[in-house]
């Protein structure tokens, strides 16, 4: 097994009921870099992303086969604790979805889920933690005056940053992002991309995007998927300049939707 991989899958298949959405996916996502997941609509990017923290299982009619390793542990094993897995693998959604709590409570939410009552932080420590992660996502200066206001009242860009920030207190090693900028305007997109660069190195980031320019700007490696299959996985520069598959070239040049 290769230890530089944070996420690794072998012959991973996934069905929604009778419909097979992923076919024999073999991926190896290297630790600490940003990997972009691209491909036409409906090709299974979201499905693959949501398999890494097993959030797909909420649906109740999802079935999987094969191997999906996160930090060298097969997460499909029966002894895997979902809470622990999801502590290690944070997820950012397409639409910012802060909880209907204050900014501060949003940041502390995951942290409180994963700490036992005896190791509860003092209020001062909590404040430090909140400040620390908000600084990491470049949000501290704009929200420090209103930590007790509802998170829903923030702008979408700020909400999305908050949704990233709230994952950090539990020290995840992987961040999954499903089109995190698609609900944002160009300025917000730029701000989030800037943030991605800040986080690069500390976390393994897997990001789904429809935006080719964004994939080129932010990612080290890219994975191209088509109809539930992995077509090509290569360093981003290489994929965008000399794609190995014809389908990749077609997609990058905008010949699919």
List contacts with Mg ion (CB under 5 A): 46
Q: From other proteins, Mg ion, ligand ATP, none, which one binds at residue 243 (CB under 5 to 8 Å depending on kind)? A: none
- Using the rule CB under 8 A, which residue among 104, 161, 166, 233 binds other proteins? 166
Specify whether the CB–CB gap between 149 and 101 falls below 8 A.
Answer: no
Closest contact distance (angstroms) between CB of 48 and Mg ion is 10
Element (H, E) at 38: strand 34-38
- Using CB under 6 A as the binding rule, whether residue 19 contacts ligand ATP is answered as yes
Q: Which residues pair with 63 in a beta bridge?
A: 15
Question: Which positions from 25 through 44 interact with ligand ATP, judged by CB under 6 A?
Answer: 39, 41-44
Q: Residue 224 CB, nearest distance to ligand ATP (Å)?
A: 11
Provide the b/e sequence for 63-83 (b: ≥16 CB within 10 Å): ebebebbbbeeebbeeeeeee
Q: Residue 45, interface with ligand ATP (CB under 6 A)?
A: yes
What's the CA dihedral at 115, 117, 119, 123 to 10 degrees?
Answer: 90
Please tell me the distance from the alpha carbon of residue 47 to that of residue 50, in angstroms, as a whole number.
Answer: 5
Question: Which of 78, 49, 87 lies closest to 166 in space, CA to CA?
Answer: 87
According to the binding rule CB under 6 A, does residue 109 interact with ligand ATP?
no
Closest CB 19 distance from ligand ATP, rounded Å: 5
CA distance 76 to 66: 8
Nearest distance from C-beta of residue 182 to ligand ATP, angstroms: 9
- How near is the Cβ of 41 to Mg ion at its closest, in Å? 7
Query: Would you say 106 or 219 has its CB closer to ligand ATP?
Result: 219
For β-strands 19-30 and 34-38, DSSP reports them as: unpaired
H helix or E strand, kind and range, residue 45:
helix 45-52
Residues that bind ligand ATP (CB under 6 A): 16, 19, 21, 39, 41-47, 59
Residues that bind other proteins (CB under 8 A): 53, 55, 58, 60, 82-87, 90-91, 93, 95, 97-101, 109-110, 112-114, 150, 163, 166-167, 170
């Amino acid at each position: 097994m290769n230890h530089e991989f944070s996420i690794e899958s072998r012959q991973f298949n996934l069905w929604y009921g009778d419909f097979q959405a992923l076919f024999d996916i073999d991926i190896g996502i290297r630790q600490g870099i940003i990997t972009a997941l691209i491909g036409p609509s409906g090709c299974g990017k979201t499905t693959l992303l949501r398999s890494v923290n097993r959030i797909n299982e909420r649906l109740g009619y999802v079935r999987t086969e094969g191997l999906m390793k996160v930090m060298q542990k097969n997460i499909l094993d029966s002894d895997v604790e979902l809470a622990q897995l999801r502590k290690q693998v944070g997820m950012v959604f397409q639409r910012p979805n802060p909880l209907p709590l204050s900014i501060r409570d949003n940041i502390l939410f995951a942290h409180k889920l994963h700490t036992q009552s005896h190791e509860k932080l003092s209020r001062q420590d909590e404040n430090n933690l909140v400040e620390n992660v908000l600084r990491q996502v470049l949000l501290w200066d704009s929200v420090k005056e209103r930590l007790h206001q509802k998170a829903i009242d923030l702008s979408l860009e700020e909400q999305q940053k908050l949704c990233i920030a709230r994952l950090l207190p539990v020290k995840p090693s992987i961040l999954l992002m499903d089109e995190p900028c698609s609900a944002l305007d160009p300025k917000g997109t730029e701000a989030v991309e800037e943030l991605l660069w800040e986080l690069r190195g500390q976390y393994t980031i897997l990001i789904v995007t429809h935006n080719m320019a964004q994939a080129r700007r932010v990612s080290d490696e890219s994975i191209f998927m088509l109809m539930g299959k992995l077509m090509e996985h290569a360093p981003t520069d290489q994929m965008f300049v000399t794609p190995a598959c014809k389908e990749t070239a077609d997609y990058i040049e905008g010949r699919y939707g």
